[in-house]
Structures are given as C-alpha cells and as structure tokens.
Chains A and B, each alone.
Chain A
C-alpha cells in the first residue's frame, strides 16, 4: 500500500507485508513479543489443511517460500465502507523464509483491522495458532526523509514455528473508509504463487472496471453481484540490481468501483481526467495566498529583474527556505496544507511545497499545475491506468508565458493546449530551476490541468546536462611519482550527488573525504596537497572540485621500463552483470549522462613511449564509450567519453551492456609502456 504523497522511498508492494525493514524496530518488536502471553494451541482451518499435499508452484533452490494459496475478498458496502478479508498460506522452503512467519498489515486512521489470526501446520506435531490479542502495533520512528508524523501503522503478528517444511497461514479482516473507490490486487510477489483469487462483491447497480498490468487479462467468473478472478502458477520476482521498480514489472489488477451515477461524484475515477478532477477538488483553495505571502512574493519579485529571474527567486525560496517536514494524517497524505500555512511555518512536504510555489507564481500572474509522480521512473508507465497508489511525489508544471526564451529552462514540454510547460521540483533543493533530476526525467505523471487530468511524460534532458568533465595536467618523475592538478566540473545529478555529500558533512575537515574516496578507487598511494570546492551553494552553476595531488609509485617499474596507466582516476565500468544468474529484467540507468576525461601526463625526461594501449570505440546504441591514448611530444594524453543515451536497456541487450562494461574495465586497466630514450 502506498497511500501517501510524501516523496517517501518506502514502497510496500503487497497488501500484506513481512518484517523485512527497520531492523532495530523489529528487534524491539520481537523483544516485546516475549511479554505476550501465549495463545492456546488450536487447529489450523480446513482451508490450510487442504494445502498440505498440494504441489508447490515451480521454483528453484533459492526460493525461500512459496505462496500456496491467496484469497482476497473485497465487499463494497457503500461509498464509505469496504470490507476486505484476506487469507494466505505459505510453505516455508528455506531458513530465509522464516520472515513469512511475521505478518505485518498496514493500516491508517480510516481503516480498522477487525480480526487477525495466524496458524502454523508443522511438518510434525500439532498445529499452532495465534490470535489478534497477541498482535502488536508499530509505526515508523523519526527517520530522516520519511514522514515526521503520520497515522499509518502496521499491525504485526508473529506465527510460531515458521521453519522450512512448515506451512504458515493467516486470515484477517479490514474495514476501510476509502478516500478513493479503488483497489489493487497485487498477485505477483517475491515468492512464486500456486493460486491466487480475488473476489469482488458490489452492492446492486454498482459496476466495476478492471485493468491488468504486466499480466494477460483474466476473465472473471460472475455470480450475482460477485465476480471472482483466479490466477495460478505465477513466477516470483527476484530482486536484481538496477531493475525497474516493482510496480513496473509485477502482475497486478487495478479495480475501480463505480456506484450508480458514475464515479466522479463519489471519490472514484476511471481515467486520468477524472483523477485530475479528484485531485483538483482536493487542492481547491489551497493555493490562495495570505497577505503575508503576497507581501513576501512582492518582496522577492521586486528584487529580481526579468520574469525568469522572478520565477527563480520564488523557486529558490520554495526549495531552500521551506524545510522539508511531512505531517500526514488521514487525507493529509494526499491533500496539501494551504500555502498560507506552509508559509507561516516555513515547512512542508512535497505537495505543500508545490502548493506554495503555485500560489507564489500566481501572484506574479503565472499559471502552474500540480504533477503527481512517482520518484522512481518506471513505477508508472504509459499503460498504467488511473489510480493513486503508485504515486509518492508531487512536483509542478509551470506554464511559461509566450516569448520566454531562456536557455537555462531545459525541463520543458510543449503541451498542445497549455503551451510550453516547465517541470520543476520545489522539494529538490539541489536541482536548479529549469532542470529536473534524472529519476524524474522521462517519467510518467498526472498533470492536473484546469479541465481535468492527463498522464504526461516528463521531459528528458540532453545527456550533456548530467556529467563530469574531468581534466588533469600531471607530470611524472623517473621514480614513478605523479603530481599535478585536477579539475572536475559536475552538472546535473553528478553535481547533485556531490552537493548532497558535502551538505551532510558535519566537519570542515571531512569535506575532502569525497575526493579521497574517489582517488582511493584508482590510486594506491596519494596525497591531496590542495583542494577547493566551487559553486557549492550556487546550484544553477556547475559544481567544481579543484585539487592537487601527488601519487607516489604511480608508474611501476619493470626492468628498465616504466608502466603508466593513462586513465588516471575515475571508474566507469561495473560488475552489475557479472552474475551467474541470467538477467530477467531490464537495466535501468539513473538518467542520461555524459562523462569526459582528459588527462595529460608530462613524461619524465629520458623516457619515451614504447607501447600504447589501443583506442576503444564501442557504441551499443543505448550507451557509448570512446577512449584514446596518444603522445603529443613528451606528453601522454588520454581522452575518453562515456555516454548513456537511453534510460533503460532491455533484457535482449544486457549482454551488449555486459560486454561494454568489460571493454571499459579493460581500457581502464590498460597501460602505456615507457622505455629509456634511445638518444
């Protein structure tokens, strides 16, 4: 369940969760469970016993558990009340599957868990039973970047003896006062599934609409006002590094419940337009400016010249002066606080900041629109139907007045009705106005336009807008010591990352650490003799590192030869695909990027080049790598460019990517050979 728009990176892919995160909280929870009195033993229900001899779904030796049976019954009683009952049973296959013995059900103040029981059928011996009085409730303690205050909690039940060979199962009932008349059936998960059922019971005259994602449509069996869908033999999804987000690959069915008279009037939507209307209603009046806010806008705008400068001043205020704090209770997970309130407190979450920004822009006669997105590209795709649960972030689209031609405003799209829109994230204080972080580029989101919503793809910036331009002028001594000056110019997410690293540094002496870390990846011995940081706070300018370095024994001696690696620092290769398992999912890049290195090494007197590494020219379409080592007089010059041109590499091309990474790794280790000069 993802019920909040708070930029939270926490995403809960299943209706029912298991305690995989929050280790310290889990430890506390388990220690507290020791206080709970044991429930009396009782037999597991017949539906679980019926599973004892069923064949498990196809799985391999690394599978921790298989879901033998899952049943979700959703009974819509009215627009205000939905009853959900769930029963599930897993067979534990490996020690890692023990986590399936800890059931965690998320809920909020509009939901009530009315019943909860769990059982274990051990391979030998009597069944175990636990009831809801043994459950505990937990909520997230303060964690940086998450909600400070929220009404979302988890109810947790520990089922005994969740050991390999045993079956654990549970039933629970939940009553929901829904904000939106929708549900998602997430039938594909980490564990392979033998059989999963979803039943929908609607009041008479209600209708439903379903959309299948990442799985072929299955027709329901209809019986009176009940519809039932059944899927079976579903593969598990095993995590791969840099894979698309779970929502983008897992089979799921999205259901909209439509009361008589349609959905728009009663907390429902069946398309993006209706969802936009719903969100508009939710935010109505929230962008009205208070006198104090108007005064602040006037002050900010008056100190700026052009309209773009005025916008930048407002953007800077929203990004930097408004502290990120998420307080989300009830509908507050979706509904922003008013702009006046956000301004008064000087804090708010992403939707609050977007609201304030919209209100301020309105004061200088510029229209803007909410854009509801997921902070991870690929969670929402072109095929995703209108629903709310896969979004976790709000940004803003600013309608640029005609005639504005400012090259710094890059993250734009031409909307057929609204004109030129600039996408801007007021929460991201390290990405300047005019740009967008990589994760939000080419990402699908709900544009809340005046006449309703629509799903739009955010702009992708040119690869040159994100990269490192590293240049070094160095000189080598006959003893192999390399000294010289290095400059790194970083833009886009590459700049963002360094600013973030330095922002969280708590001591001046630690500011050099990111450089030390970088150099230690490439140099055995080094000393930084001088270092400075440029444009740390000026996010609209490139971030710059200047440093001087001395690396003893950089060149290795071999007889009378000197071996010099032309690639001085920086690693572009990756062992991401050096795995035994064949890749199952595409590889996702953070964003388009273009990194260049130019290293010039003045050779020691008395030496000349005997051998040079060959040039490399590799282009896979989605990415390219070019490097060259050459001699200019007594200088060894190494240049290379690594460019990521597409955001995703399909499975059919991952072997190309693996080869590319190996080519890069080889080039990075290549060596030039110097010999004593012959004259």
Chain B
C-alpha cells in the first residue's frame, strides 16, 4: 500500500516535470538554467570560426484568443570572439499601430558564471514616424559582455486586439542556432495550414499538431541550424532560408493544391475575360493595326508593337498622390478603355494584346505567372498571391509562344527573365493548366563587340568599337535607363566599356543609340583608346588576347561555396577585334587557339595574323540558369582557364632600327 502511494506521487511528480520541460518558458519562469557546458564552451565544432552562436531560440505564438494575440521570444547567445560582442546590442523593431514590445528582460552571464542582470534603460527609437504610422524599435545593450559570456533576453510582442495574421518561423538566422523551439497556438475560428517551402534543417521533424490540456499547438524543435550566409550569384534568400509559413484561411481550407489552383484559376479566368472581352472594339482596332494580307507573324508583331507603344504607367516614376490626382488618369476597366485612353499599367497592356491577338484570329490564352526574382513558386504552398503577373500564350504557325508586351522594352518573342523557367497558370474556364515558359538559349541575348583598332609605336591601341546588345541584354539596359537623360545614358554606356577593359582607357560614345524601342538589337558606337595595352619584354612587345576580359578576371575568386549558383538568363559575349600593327612591326608568335567546352559554358579564343594585321576572336557562351553547389569547383576551374587564355600573349617584333643608322 505504502509503495503504491509512493509510486503515485512519483508518477505525478514526473508528470509535472515532464509538463514543465515541455511547457514554453514564460515570464514567470524567467530564465532557463545555464549548463556548465554552455559556460565553458569556446567554440562550436559545427560552426567553426563563428563569432557567436545562438544556444537557444524560442518563439511561442499564441493567436488562440483573438483579443490578446501575442508572441513570446527568448534568445540565448554565446559570445565566442570579440567580434561576437556586437550581438549584445539588441534592436527589436515593431509597428506601433498593431503591436507592442513588452516585458523585456535581459542579462549577461560572465564566463565564470556570475550574472549581471540588465538594469539599464530600454530605449524606444522612432525609426519612422509619419501620419498615422509609427515604426519603432526597442533598443538596449547589455553590460559586461566579453568573449565567453552568455547573453540572453526575452520579450513579448503584444498584438492589437483581433490582429491575427499569417505568420512564420524563420529558422535560418545570421548565427548558427544550436537549439530552437517553436510553437503556435492558432486561432480556432480560422483554418490553418503550414508549410516549410525550403525544407527543414537536417534531422528536424516537421511541425506537428499537438492537443493537450493547454490546448491545440503546432510545435517544432530544430537543432544545429546553420547560419545563413550570403554569396554572389546565389538564388534569392527567400528561396534558401529555412522557415515555416502559416497561412490562415477564412472558411474551409482547401488542402488539395490541384483543387485550390483550379478554383483560383476559374476566378482569375472570369476576371480576365471580363477585362478582355470587348470583341467588337478589338476587331475594329486590329483592323487599323494589321493588313489582311500580312503573314501571321507580321500581324502578331504589329499588334505587339502597337500595344508596347501605349503609355505604360508601370514604368513611370512614382508619383505623389497630388500628382496622380492632377494627371486625371482614371482607373481603366477594360481593354477598350486602355486603347481609348492611351495608357495602362503593364498588366492591362498585356491583356490588351491578348484581346487584339484574339481579334486578329490568333489562338491566344491568358497566363497568370509567378516570377523568380524573390522566391521560387511552389504550388503546394497554395499562396494565391504568388501568381502576380501576366503573359499571353499565342499559337503562331502551330507553335506556342509566350509574349508580354506589358514588360516594356522586351523584344517580340521574348519574356523578361523573371517570367521564364517559372510556372504560370494558363487560364481557361475549367481553371487552367500549368505552363513553364522556357528561358531562351544564350544565342537570343548577346553582346557583340566589334573593334577596328590601330596599334601605335608607344603600345597604345586606338580605333572604333561597336557594341551590339541584343535580346534581354538590350531590354534590361533600356528599362534601367528609361527615366534617365542622355547624359546619364551616355555615361552608362561608356562605363560599360570601362568595365570591360582590364586597364584604364579613354572611351567616347559617338552614336545616338535607340533607347526607346524594343527592337532586338541595341547598338552603341565608340572611339576607344587603350594606353599601354602592349607591354615590354626587352626587344619584343607583348599583347594580351583578352581586350574585353575584365569581368571574367574577378569571378569565383574563392575556392569554397555554400549555396547553388543562380543566374538571370543565358547569354553570349562575342568579340571580333582587328588590329593594324605599326609599320614595320611583325607578329613573332600567336597563341594556340583555345576551346573550352563544358557544354553549358563554352569559351573559344583564337588569333590570326592576316597580312600583318591581327584578327582576334573570343566567344563566351553561358547557357546556365542554376547550378548545384557541387559543380562550383568545375565552374571555377572553367573560369580560371578562361582567364588563363585571356592572358595568353601575342609576341610582336617592333621594327628593328639598325645601329649603323
């Protein structure tokens, strides 16, 4: 009997301990115990060289009572180096309208275990205060922080009454996190779904729903979350960070992505057809644009050009409300109004194209697109806002092509890079089907640099250069400079050449390039002087092969890589350079032609001596959009070979003057 009672007490105690261990830390609990291991830690083997690591991170979101939604945060950081002490400066930003930061507590634990409680002031900094909007930050700094110290703080974000919204747990932080514990107690009146679009740290069990005496929780625990690192040519950070997204839905939540998108597609189809469906007006308009005898492609090109000529308000400088009011530009309700008023935003212009193309007899469909500049689209996230731009699929001579005249300066037949290699929903009355417009291959976006130069006896190259930017290489330059003046545009083009040549040069733009159109080619002509391009080698003179090789000199300098490589679009650089030598100079030797063919990246370089004049060719083709990190060494090696080939020297023999003369 006695032992049975004792057993009951032990069970109750153990159960209490278990509940305590699982229960989120609250202000009443204040601080978690510090372990000896944490105190003595001098480095973290899984984050070698880190200035500090997060030992413990906790986020407990509680939306369950819509009158008092709040989020509790706890951060414990181990300072490992002097540099790591900067993490003792803490700033917690918040919008005053909807949230407040309360119950901020902090402390420093010295390496010897002595505790310095934070008794300083928590400042409230007004980062931005405008009419009705206050963006503030609670700011404080901890005392007596040294390498070896542990700093920790916790606070609660109190949200405004009934301020329940989609939230997320961001697991990837600037520092390595040893242990993270996350909970969400959802608002029961809304349906909730949660996803982890970029995966979870290795060994992490997905967030799980748990019902206990304290209510319904989504809970997750993660260990050893790597610090998030930023690299050149990496995918968007939002596509790489570990995070868990929570989406509330008012009403029944659709759990099947296919059904979700069908439903969404139907709704968007109706909206689009409502906007586009002005058949008669479109037919009248198209009769003014095309001739009945035009071949189909010409017709389509004329319609494309017409729609691109309409004032595209998406590409104008952002106007204040006063200016917008005064400009009397009204919201347009359909394609007929876009045509009549002569302006529209990019989406409206694209739908006008759809209407006109159909009126001209083309089979054309609206496509609602995701874009890939900020994050990667994932159907199963069922985030309707991810499809936020539009293009048109047209059948031309039996082939499907994708067009977006609302993207200013984009040549006929192409799409902006953000709308390629990413899914879109081709709308129809049943909801639609998924399409993925391809990224055009490198031959569609080229930079051709043709130079006719003379070398003088001082080793300076002088002559004319013509650069032709085509495809997307032309489009982005035109779009970027659209609101600049001629002086700025000229400087931009001259700076381009400055950046191409590995030494200081004098360059002057001599032509007036066509900035306004979306023609595939954009041509700039220059005079170019390259002082000291030829270097001395005693009796000989040496000329490097790569006149326009500067950008490739500084790519992939480092041997290690964390993230995959990611590029905007495939492209080519083609150089054709003729150099007339000074009278009496001769070519002693030419480098061997080089061909480096790594399939997706190809480099060709060759030099010829044509009747005492040099002819240099250099082709660099990049057909890459993304590349796994494991191939980084191969790519780096390729570019090292490119650099090496660019540094090959042509040996010249200046005219030898006889000593007897």
Chain B neighbourhood of A95, CB < 8 A: 483-485, 488
By the criterion CB–CB under 8 Å, are A33 and B130 in contact? yes
By the criterion CB–CB under 8 Å, are B144 and A507 in contact? no
Question: Of B130, B506, B539, B640, which is in contact with the most chain A CB atoms at under 10 Å from its CB?
Answer: B130
Known A-B contacts A138-B127, A556-B648, A558-B651; the reply to A611 vs B537 at CB < 8 A is yes
Interface residue ranges of A493-539 to B (CB < 8 Å): 503-513, 516-517, 520-521, 524-528
Chain A neighbourhood of B320, CB < 8 A: 33, 38, 158, 160-161
Q: Which residue of A lies closest to B642 (CB)?
A: A524
Chain B neighbourhood of A670, CB < 8 A: 535-537
Chain A neighbourhood of B33, CB < 8 A: none
Select the stretch in A81-89, A321-329, A452-460 that faces chain B. Answer: A321-329
Chain B neighbourhood of A524, CB < 8 A: 640, 643-644, 646-647
By the criterion CB–CB under 8 Å, are B487 and A62 in contact? yes
B398 within 8 A of A: no
Interface residue ranges of B378-399 to A (CB < 8 Å): none
By the criterion CB–CB under 8 Å, are B139 and A142 in contact? yes
Known A-B contacts A148-B89, A520-B554; the reply to A673 vs B538 at CB < 8 A is yes
By the criterion CB–CB under 8 Å, are B49 and A506 in contact? yes
Select the stretch in B79-87, B179-187, B200-208 that faces chain A. Answer: B79-87
Q: State the interface size on chain B (CB cutoff 8 A).
A: 82
Chain A neighbourhood of B47, CB < 8 A: 507
Partner of B317, one of A98, A134, A611: A98
Measured CA separation A41–B320 after assembly (Å): 13
Chain B neighbourhood of A525, CB < 8 A: 640-641, 643-644
Partner of B128, one of A28, A161, A556, A563: A28
Measured CA separation A506–B87 after assembly (Å): 13
**Contact flags B32-63 to A (C-beta < 8 A → 1, else 0):** 00000000000000011111000000000000
Q: Which residue of A lies closest to B481 (CB)?
A: A95
By the criterion CB–CB under 8 Å, are B485 and A164 in contact? yes
By the criterion CB–CB under 8 Å, are B82 and A503 in contact? yes
Measured CA separation A133–B129 after assembly (Å): 11
B250 within 8 A of A: no
Chain B neighbourhood of A98, CB < 8 A: 317
B163 within 8 A of A: no
By the criterion CB–CB under 8 Å, are B487 and A611 in contact? no
B91 within 8 A of A: yes
B467 within 8 A of A: no
B384 → A minimal CB distance (Å): 22
Measured CA separation A580–B508 after assembly (Å): 9
Chain B neighbourhood of A672, CB < 8 A: 537-538
Partner of B542, one of A134, A325, A345, A671: A671
Interface residue ranges of A457-481 to B (CB < 8 Å): none
By the criterion CB–CB under 8 Å, are A345 and B143 in contact? yes
By the criterion CB–CB under 8 Å, are B88 and A563 in contact? no
Q: Which residue of B lies closest to A577 (CB)?
A: B504
B145 within 8 A of A: yes
By the criterion CB–CB under 8 Å, are B325 and A38 in contact? yes
Q: Which residue of A lies closest to B484 (CB)?
A: A95
B614 → A minimal CB distance (Å): 14
By the criterion CB–CB under 8 Å, are A161 and B323 in contact? yes
A30 within 8 A of B: yes
Measured CA separation A161–B532 after assembly (Å): 48
Known A-B contacts A38-B320, A141-B127, A149-B139; the reply to A556 vs B649 at CB < 8 A is yes
A179 within 8 A of B: no
A610 within 8 A of B: yes
By the criterion CB–CB under 8 Å, are A35 and B132 in contact? yes
Chain B neighbourhood of A510, CB < 8 A: 49, 560
Chain A neighbourhood of B229, CB < 8 A: 506-507
By the criterion CB–CB under 8 Å, are B651 and A563 in contact? yes
Known A-B contacts A98-B317, A136-B130, A160-B322; the reply to A509 vs B560 at CB < 8 A is yes
Measured CA separation A503–B317 after assembly (Å): 42
Interface residue ranges of B517-549 to A (CB < 8 Å): 531-532, 535-540, 542
A561 within 8 A of B: yes
By the criterion CB–CB under 8 Å, are B589 and A559 in contact? yes
**Contact flags B86-102 to A (C-beta < 8 A → 1, else 0):** 10110101000000000
Interface residue ranges of A398-415 to B (CB < 8 Å): none
Interface residue ranges of B388-425 to A (CB < 8 Å): none
Chain B neighbourhood of A346, CB < 8 A: 143-146
B591 within 8 A of A: yes
Known A-B contacts A94-B488, A164-B485, A614-B536; the reply to A553 vs B644 at CB < 8 A is yes
B23 → A minimal CB distance (Å): 33
By the criterion CB–CB under 8 Å, are A666 and B137 in contact? no
By the criterion CB–CB under 8 Å, are B651 and A561 in contact? yes
By the criterion CB–CB under 8 Å, are B536 and A613 in contact? yes
Measured CA separation A528–B559 after assembly (Å): 9
A153 within 8 A of B: yes
Q: Which residue of A lies closest to B320 (CB)?
A: A160
Partner of A671, one of B485, B487, B649: B649
By the criterion CB–CB under 8 Å, are B322 and A38 in contact? yes
B503 within 8 A of A: yes
B135 within 8 A of A: yes
Interface residue ranges of A556-572 to B (CB < 8 Å): 556, 558-559, 561, 563
A237 within 8 A of B: no
Measured CA separation A320–B85 after assembly (Å): 11
B557 within 8 A of A: yes
Interface residue ranges of B190-227 to A (CB < 8 Å): 227
Measured CA separation A76–B536 after assembly (Å): 69
By the criterion CB–CB under 8 Å, are A34 and B644 in contact? no
Measured CA separation A611–B531 after assembly (Å): 23
Known A-B contacts A164-B485, A558-B649; the reply to A32 vs B323 at CB < 8 A is no
B234 within 8 A of A: no
By the criterion CB–CB under 8 Å, are A516 and B559 in contact? yes
B131 within 8 A of A: yes
A662 within 8 A of B: yes
Q: Which residue of A lies closest to B91 (CB)?
A: A142
Chain B neighbourhood of A541, CB < 8 A: none
Q: Which residue of A lies closest to B88 (CB)?
A: A323
Chain A neighbourhood of B88, CB < 8 A: 323, 347
By the criterion CB–CB under 8 Å, are A138 and B128 in contact? yes
Chain A neighbourhood of B641, CB < 8 A: 525
Partner of A666, one of B132, B535, B649: B535
B103 within 8 A of A: no
Chain B neighbourhood of A526, CB < 8 A: 640
By the criterion CB–CB under 8 Å, are A613 and B50 in contact? no
A238 → B minimal CB distance (Å): 13
By the criterion CB–CB under 8 Å, are A149 and B131 in contact? no
By the criterion CB–CB under 8 Å, are A509 and B127 in contact? no
B492 within 8 A of A: no
Measured CA separation A136–B127 after assembly (Å): 10
A137 within 8 A of B: yes
Q: Taking beta carbons and an 8 Å cutoff, which residues of A are in contact with B? A: 25, 28-30, 32-39, 41, 61-62, 94-96, 98, 125-126, 128, 130, 133-139, 141-142, 144, 148-149, 153, 158, 160-161, 163-164, 320-321, 323, 325, 327, 344-347, 429, 503-513, 516-517, 520-521, 524-528, 552-553, 556, 558-559, 561, 563, 575, 578, 580, 610-614, 662, 665-666, 669-673
Q: Taking beta carbons and an 8 Å cutoff, which residues of B are in contact with A? A: 47-51, 81-83, 85-86, 88-89, 91, 93, 120, 123, 125-133, 135, 137, 139, 141, 143-146, 227, 229, 317-323, 325-326, 483-485, 487-488, 503-506, 508, 531-532, 535-540, 542, 553-554, 557-560, 588-589, 591, 640-641, 643-644, 646-651
* Contacts A161-B320, A611-B539, A672-B538 supplied; 13 other A-B pairs, CB < 8 Å: A126-B326, A135-B130, A137-B128, A149-B123, A153-B126, A164-B485, A509-B48, A509-B560, A517-B557, A525-B640, A525-B643, A558-B588, A614-B536
Some 20 contacts from A to B, beta carbons below 8 A apart, are A28-B128, A32-B133, A36-B130, A37-B131, A137-B130, A141-B125, A142-B91, A153-B126, A323-B145, A345-B144, A347-B143, A503-B81, A506-B50, A506-B227, A524-B643, A524-B647, A613-B536, A666-B532, A671-B536, A671-B649
Which are the 5 A-B pairs with shortest beta-carbon distances?
A611-B538, A578-B504, A136-B130, A524-B643, A508-B49
